[in-house]
Amino acid sequence: MEHRIHIREIAARDWPRLAALEHETYAHLSLAEGEELLRSRAASSPATCFALDADGRLAGYALALPYPHLDCPDPTRPEPAVHRAGPNLHLHDLVISAPLRRRGLGTRLARHVTEAAAALGFETVSLVAVDGKETFWRANGYEPRHEARVPPAYGRDALYMSATTTALLPRETVRTR
């Protein structure tokens, strides 16, 4: 079945469904943060947080915020403040609803975040791979950064990964300065 897919800013009406998607994805790993914590991350950088609509219904999302390179948010605490703009955008969370997974939508949404990062002047995008998703992120251009500090709440197998925006995007997409 073909779906009409649209990526847009997160709207106030999205939060109950967004929190439900996050819970469905991460509760079994004890990684579900809940709506309040997710909102605190999105408030740090609304221009780099996105909703994925499929046929007019929220079917995924990405939350990304400026964060010091080789560091990441503590998933057990709200974001205390907006981090000063630096060269790194941290992709804190990317979720696609279960029925729509394995259709390229995660890659499409990750690329959208990267395009936004490049347009805003970020030089790198980082993330923490959990639940065995290292392979997905490697296929999308990210490399492990073992020297990074990852809070224990992400789980034993969590892996910090990053890539430059120029490495993630086709040459014609990268903005020249």
Write the pLDDT tens digit of every residue in 104-118.
899 999 999 999 999
Residue 84 has pLDDT above 50, yes or no: yes
Is the pLDDT score of 173 beyond 70? no
Note the pLDDT of residue 44: 87
pLDDT at 161: 97
Q: Residue 170: its pLDDT value, please?
A: 72
Buried b / exposed e along 162-177 (16+ C-beta atoms within 10 A): bbbbeebbeeeebeee
Domains and CATH numbers, the chain: 5-173 (3.40.630.30)
Residue 82 — pLDDT band, cuts 50, 70, 90? low
